[in-house]
């Protein structure tokens, strides 16, 4: 009898557990799906996700379509929507399993992935006239999705974003890629097709980090490193530790040689609790010292701040959070002599966790060592930002630290070069595959219209241009193939910006690593469905990352209108040399295609700059150049009888003035190139519109 009762209870228990499992079974979608999103029009669209139980039924409904499937053995599921045109409607995407998920304001349009480094990364608010543009940035038919800056040694399945899909407006556009914004605005204004932009960018990133392990293994110089990264989940942490062990120690050694607070004669640094502070001054905080009359006005260097406090009874035996608002420029912050945080960026709100073990009964002391590089100095936030609180986010109680703080000057910087920038590890943006794995791989199944790309500055270097060409062409092919595996069958359009000028304008013709990289970018633009825009005329000299992003977006939009929106009569690029030049004695006749409505010079005095010629010895000299017809330029040099080579806009930051009347600059070129490498054989060359 006991056995029967026991078996009966076991069965009841199993049924109960089973019922709980069923009740909590649910479907889960990647974060790329959400309210306000754009789905790619006129193409097969994949909706995919996971289920917490295999075999779970999944029903997807949108725009009159209903699709049914079941979760596979690995709990994944997917359905394919039929191609759907844009018709002006917003839809609800409904996914039903054991649970129900609904996404509202879903629209069909064109999705472009914006990727690369700083010139694509720059937000609208920091671009030229960006603040003025934000006042009219209300476009509900343009939707924005920003990928979190993340890194991974393995390809990730889910896209990470702070806020998901958002309508384009004054607030969301402020932080979004300026190039992407202007591109979408131009496309939408001319086609009325809704545009979705996915920003996956990282400042300072090398192209190697945007390539997948699949293709990087084919490069002998990277094969071993890629395999090491794949087999070491803690690779990045180990590289960072190795970097800091070497470089941070050197930085601190230099700091200690300058600052008395790190080498106090009494043997205790100024971060130590209980320090004799009779010779320290007082200053109310928060407060900045830029104002005239302040004792630290115009001061650059280090300053030590300290304040004593007693932990309130309701915070005892708890981890706390120290908040100090913004601070100029670097800081190292201590509680009772133990470091709790450090930051190397001005105007960043400081919030550091204080382990309860660092605190004691009675008086505690916070010490902030700061280094200031000019302009405003000190704590620049507001009083409400200076406090301690419980590390429990739900606890609203704050204990204010605003008020009088003691301070003492450490060392003065008469020349900011006396102390170099703090050595921040940047390997995550340079190491192979890490950005691709975290920011591109999760998007492969999501149907898109094409790519916008601006990158290359981080790869400029002696002898690196041919290597960059191989990487760049491989990246374009690989990204396309990854989306093809998910069902996007065509060669997706790839639009990119050629490097702008950087540095001082050279007084004499010279070799240039920047020009070499521009050259291989031009070669890459010959791949099928690939288009390049020139940005040479937008250069800001010593500022590598120019602010005129409106023109970049306009030029990319012109290329997209030709490739994707059947605007075949649109002028979409500047003059391009038609080979070969015609040599007639001491003159060289150059003929250009894409002259548009005719050639002009942008030089204010009306003559052409940037042309150089050379004889067989290869020694280039600046040449006289004249526009002689609708699409022709004649170049000559009075001391050269038989020039055989000609260059235009060849240099780090060349004086380049040739343009067409449609506002597009001529592409740089040289006729003495011995290293031309054609695009990969597997990629057909696109016809160039005359």
Full DSSP string of 13-81 = HHHHHHHHHHHH--EE--TT--TT-EEETTS-EEEEEEESSTT-EEEEEETTEEEEEE--TTSEEEEEE
pLDDT in tens, 444-466: 999 999 999 999 999 998 888 99
346-380 per-position pLDDT tens digit: 777 899 999 999 999 989 999 999 988 777 778 88
Q: Which region among 168-177, 251-260, 321-330, 515-524 has the lowest average model confidence (pLDDT)?
A: 251-260
Q: How many helices (H) and strands (E) does the chain have?
A: 11, 37
**Predicted confidence band of residue 606 (pLDDT cuts 50, 70, 90):** confident
Cα angle value 661/667/668 (rounded, 5°):
135
pLDDT band, residue 415 (cuts 50/70/90): low
Q: Which of the four pLDDT bands, split at 50, 70 and 90, describes residue 218?
A: very high
| Cβ atoms of residues 341 and 361 within 8 Å | no
Question: 249 burial class (0-12, 13-18, 19+ CB within 10 angstroms)?
Answer: exposed
8 Å CB contact between 227 and 217: yes
What is the rounded distance in angstroms from the CA atom of residue 255 to the CA atom of residue 249?
Answer: 10
CB 340 within 8 A of CB 332: no
Look at the block and give the residue holding tokens 């599921």.
77
Average pLDDT over residues 143-155: 95
Architecture, CATH, for domain 26-212+433-572 = 3-Layer(aba) Sandwich (3.40)
Q: Name every residue whose Cβ is closer than 8 Å to that of residue 82 and which is 6 or more positions away in sequence.
A: 44, 65
Residue 461's alpha-carbon distances to 38, 206, 426, 652, in angstroms, are 40, 12, 18, 12
8 A C-beta contact, residue 141 and residue 195: yes
Q: At 677, phi and psi to the nearest 5? A: -120, 120
The answer to whether residue 9 scores a pLDDT higher than 60 is: no
Name the pLDDT band for 287 (thresholds 50, 70, 90).
confident
What would you measure as the largest C-alpha separation in the chain, in angstroms? 117
pLDDT for 22 beyond 50 = no
Whether the predicted pLDDT of 493 surpasses 80: yes
Query: Is the model's pLDDT at 234 over the cut of 60?
Result: yes
Q: How far is CA 93 from the centre of its chain?
A: 30
**Tell me, what's the pLDDT at 23?**
43
pLDDT of residue 367: 96
| Pairing between β-strand 530-533 and β-strand 494-497 as defined by DSSP bridges | parallel
Least confidently predicted of 114-128, 389-403, 611-625, 663-677: 663-677
The pLDDT value given to residue 514:
95
Residue 18 has pLDDT above 50, yes or no: no
- Identical topology for domains 26-212+433-572 and 260-412: no
685, 526 contact by CB (below 8 A): yes
Return the pLDDT at 602: 83
CA dist 327 and 644 (Å) reads 60
Q: Are 496 and 518 in contact (CB under 8 A)?
A: no
Half-sphere exposure of 558 (CA within 13 A, CB side): 18
| Rounded CA separation 649/670 (Å) | 9
Report whether pLDDT(492) > 80: yes
Whole-angstrom CA distances from 548 to 31, 47, 208, 531 are 32, 38, 27, 20
**pLDDT, mean over the chain:** 88
- Which residue ranges make up each domain of the chain? 26-212+433-572, 260-412, 576-670
Taking residues 126-145, report their average pLDDT: 96
Q: Which residues contact 304 (CB under 8 A, 6 or more apart)?
A: 261, 270, 271, 367, 368, 369, 370, 407, 408, 409, 410
Q: Residue 251 pLDDT more than 60?
A: yes
Strand partners, 283: 405
- pLDDT grade, residue 554 (50/70/90)? very high
pLDDT recorded at residue 520: 95
How far apart (Å, rounded) are the C-alpha atoms in residues 597 and 325? 56
Taking the CA atoms of residue 242, residue 238, residue 213 and residue 490 in that order, the dihedral angle to the nearest 10 degrees is -90
Does position 680 have pLDDT exceeding 90, yes or no? no
Residue 279 CA to residue 276 CA, distance in Å, equals 8
Condensed to tens digits (0 to 9), the pLDDT of residues 431-447 reads: 999 999 999 999 999 99
The CA distance from 641 to 220, in Å, is: 47
User: Which fold is adopted by the domain 260-412?
Assistant: Jelly Rolls (2.60.120)
The tokens for 85 are: 């045109």
Band of residue 290 on the pLDDT scale cut at 50, 70, 90: low
DSSP annotation of 158: S
State residue 88's pLDDT score.
83
38-40 vs 100-116, strand pairing mode? parallel
> Residue 510 pLDDT more than 70?
yes
pLDDT given at position 435: 97
Give 579: exposed, middle or buried? Use CB within 10 Å, 0-12, 13-18, 19+.
exposed
- Please check whether residue 489 is in contact with residue 639, taking contact to mean a CB–CB distance below 8 angstroms: no
Confidence at residue 488, expressed as pLDDT on a 0 to 100 scale: 66
679 pLDDT above the threshold of 60: no
Decide if pLDDT at 224 tops 80: yes
- CA nearest 546: which of 537, 556, 557? 537
Q: How confident is the model at residue 607 (pLDDT cuts 50, 70, 90)?
A: confident
Instruction: Check pLDDT > 50 for residue 688.
Output: no
Sequence-separated contacts (24+) of 61-67 with Cβ below 8 Å: 61/93, 61/94, 61/95, 61/96, 62/91, 62/92, 62/93, 62/94, 62/106, 63/89, 63/91, 63/108
């Amino acid at each position: 009898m006991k056995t029967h009762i026991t078996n009966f209870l076991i069965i009841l228990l199993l049924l109960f557990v089973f019922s709980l499992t069923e009740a909590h079974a649910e479907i889960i979608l990647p974060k790329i799906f959400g309210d306000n999103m754009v789905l790619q029009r006129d193409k097969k669209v994949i909706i995919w996700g996971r289920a917490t139980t295999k075999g779970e039924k999944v029903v997807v409904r949108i725009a009159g379509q209903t699709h049914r499937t079941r979760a596979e053995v690995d709990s994944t599921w997917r359905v394919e929507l039929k191609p759907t045109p844009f018709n002006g409607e917003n839809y609800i995407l409904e996914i039903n399993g054991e649970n129900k998920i609904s996404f509202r304001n879903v629209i069909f349009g064109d999705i472009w992935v914006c990727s690369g480094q700083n010139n694509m990364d720059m937000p609208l608010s920091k671009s030229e006239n960006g603040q003025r543009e934000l006042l009219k940035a209300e476009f509900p038919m343009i939707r924005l999705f920003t990928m979190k800056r993340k890194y991974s040694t393995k390809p990730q399945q889910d896209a990470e974003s702070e806020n998901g899909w958002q309508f384009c407006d004054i607030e969301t556009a402020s932080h979004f890629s300026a190039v992407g914004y202007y591109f979408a605005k131009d496309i939408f204004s001319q086609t009325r097709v809704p545009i979705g932009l996915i920003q996956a960018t990282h400042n300072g990133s090398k192209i190697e980090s945007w390539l997948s392990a699949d293709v990087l293994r084919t490069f002998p110089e990277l094969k071993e490193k890629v395999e090491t990264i794949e087999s070491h989940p803690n690779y990045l942490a180990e590289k960072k530790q190795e970097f800091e062990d070497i470089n941070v120690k050197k930085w601190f050694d230099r700091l200690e040689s300058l600052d008395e607070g790190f080498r106090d004669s009494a043997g205790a640094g100024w971060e130590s609790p209980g320090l004799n502070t009779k010779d320290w001054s007082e200053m109310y905080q928060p407060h900045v010292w830029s104002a005239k009359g302040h004792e630290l006005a115009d001061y650059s260097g280090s300053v030590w701040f300290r304040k004593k406090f007693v932990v309130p009874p309701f915070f005892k035996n708890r981890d706390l959070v120290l908040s100090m608002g913004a601070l100029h420029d670097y800081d190292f912050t201590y509680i009772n002599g133990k470091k709790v945080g450090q930051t190397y960026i001005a105007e960043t709100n400081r919030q550091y966790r204080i382990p309860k073990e660092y605190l004691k009964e009675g008086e505690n002391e916070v010490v902030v060592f700061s280094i200031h590089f000019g302009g405003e100095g000190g704590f620049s936030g507001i009083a409400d930002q200076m406090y301690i609180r419980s590390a429990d986010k739900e606890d609203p109680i704050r204990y204010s630290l605003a008020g009088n703080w003691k301070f003492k000057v450490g060392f003065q910087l008469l020349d900011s070069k006396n102390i170099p920038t703090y050595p921040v590890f940047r390997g995550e943006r340079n190491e192979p595959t890490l950005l691709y794995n975290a920011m591109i791989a999760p998007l492969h199944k999501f149907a898109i219209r094409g790519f916008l790309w601006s990158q290359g500055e981080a790869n400029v270097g002696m002898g690196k241009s041919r290597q960059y060409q191989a990487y760049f062409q491989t990246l374009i092919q690989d990204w396309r193939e990854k989306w093809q595996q998910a069902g996007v069958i065509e060669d997706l359009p790839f639009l990119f910006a050629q490097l702008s000028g950087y540095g001082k304008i050279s007084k004499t013709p010279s070799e240039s690593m920047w020009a070499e990289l521009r050259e291989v970018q031009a070669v890459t633009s010959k791949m099928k469905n690939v288009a390049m825009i020139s940005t040479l005329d937008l250069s800001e000299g010593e500022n590598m990352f120019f602010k005129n992003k409106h023109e970049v977006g306009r030029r990319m939009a012109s290329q997209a209108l030709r490739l994707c929106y059947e605007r075949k009569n649109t002028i979409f690029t500047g003059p391009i040399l038609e080979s070969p030049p015609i040599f007639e004695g001491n003159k060289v006749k150059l003929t250009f295609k894409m002259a548009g409505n005719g050639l002009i010079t942008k030089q204010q005095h009306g003559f052409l700059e940037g042309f150089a010629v050379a004889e067989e010895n290869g020694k280039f000299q600046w040449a006289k150049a004249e526009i002689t017809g609708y699409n022709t330029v004649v170049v000559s040099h009075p001391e050269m009888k038989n020039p055989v080579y000609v260059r235009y806009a060849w240099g780090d930051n060349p004086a380049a003035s040739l343009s067409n009347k449609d506002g597009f600059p001529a592409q740089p070129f040289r006729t003495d190139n011995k290293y031309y490498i054609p695009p990969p054989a597997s990629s057909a060359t696109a016809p160039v519109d005359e």
